[in-house]
Amino acid sequence: MKNDFCLLRGTVSQLRKGEIDEKGFLLISSIFAFFSYLFGGRPFLKGKYFYCYVGNHPVDGRLEQIDFNNGDYVEMLVKPPLDYDTYECYVVRIPQQHALIFPNFIGVSTFRYLRMLIILMTFFVVVISIVWLIVGICVGDSLDFCFNVVKYSFWGWIIASVFFFFAAGGGYTFFSNQILACLGYAKPWNYDVEAEDTRFKRLHRTSDPEIFNDPLTPDFKKLKMFKGCYYYYCRTPILPSWLKVID
């Protein structure tokens, strides 16, 4: 659970965009991401590749969409170089637009992800169990049959929940929690970026001062359009004191 993120701030230059990563099974990548989180490793990021300089520092990574350009001021949450001098990017924040760009499957917190998954799996397991119980009662099966239906449905619910959690990219959510904590969000395990995005768009339409009078982004101006690859946020959170900032 090593947290070695730092925030890199500056102007983008020498931007190069690459291919979209479609290689590898998501289930395997998700499980690997989970164990990388536990043992301080790094996951296989998915998305469109990019390489650029932020200030004087080289950065590469993969994001859902590369929607910034040379000359843009950005803040990137990165991990320090390993065997070469390039930082690895995990999220891009564009303060002037109150926007975040994540890699694929990163951004949703673990609790929010589990809650959606458990609701869906519980619904399907309960429906299937009821059908089997009705069938058993109609054909005159014993109480042992009904007991076994409930028992195996419970175990099936656990196994299916674990499988679909990782199969849908849930292993990446643990890095989402770390990223959100580094950006200054309270309760990062339960933070809902989609709800914040929806709230931002509602406040933006009414020119609410929570957005337009943000002391940390005084140069924010009304947006002409919302971009699909962005997750927008309202008031800019204060960075934690322990996060290393590189200008």
Q: What is the pLDDT of residue 73?
A: 93
Q: What is the pLDDT of residue 124?
A: 84
Are 83 and 204 in contact by the 8 Å Cβ rule? The answer is: no
Pair of tokens at residue 64: 């859902």
Q: What is the pLDDT of residue 143?
A: 65
Q: What is the pLDDT of residue 21?
A: 72
Q: What is the pLDDT of residue 229?
A: 84
Q: What is the pLDDT of residue 53?
A: 95
Q: How many angstroms separate the CA atoms of 212 and 203, rounded?
A: 9
Q: How many angstroms separate the CA atoms of 139 and 57, rounded?
A: 72
The pair phi, psi for residue 34, each rounded to 5°, is: -65, -45
Sheet strands (E) in 95-230: 99-101
Residues 6+ apart with CB under 8 A from 141: none
Q: What is the pLDDT of residue 196?
A: 92
Pair of tokens at residue 60: 């590469």
Q: Determine the length of the chain.
A: 247
Q: What is the pLDDT of residue 126?
A: 83
DSSP state of 143: H
Structure pTM?
0.86
Q: What is the pLDDT of residue 175?
A: 93
Q: What is the pLDDT of residue 201?
A: 93
Nearest to 220 by CA among 67, 100, 95, 99: 95
Local mean pLDDT, 10-residue blocks, the chain (247 residues): 83 89 79 90 90 94 91 93 86 93 90 87 84 73 70 84 90 93 90 91 90 87 87 92 91
Q: What is the pLDDT of residue 140?
A: 65
Nearest to 43 by CA among 112, 111, 113, 102: 102
Pairing label, strands 99-101, 48-54: unpaired
Q: What is the pLDDT of residue 2?
A: 60
Q: What is the pLDDT of residue 147?
A: 74
Residues 6+ apart with CB under 8 A from 159: none
Domain ranges of the chain: 6-108+172-246
Are 61 and 15 in contact by the 8 Å Cβ rule? The answer is: no
55 phi-psi bin (left φ>0, alpha ψ -120 to 50, beta other): left
Q: What is the pLDDT of residue 125?
A: 82
The number of angstroms, rounded, from the C-alpha of 57 to the middle of its chain's C-alpha atoms is 25
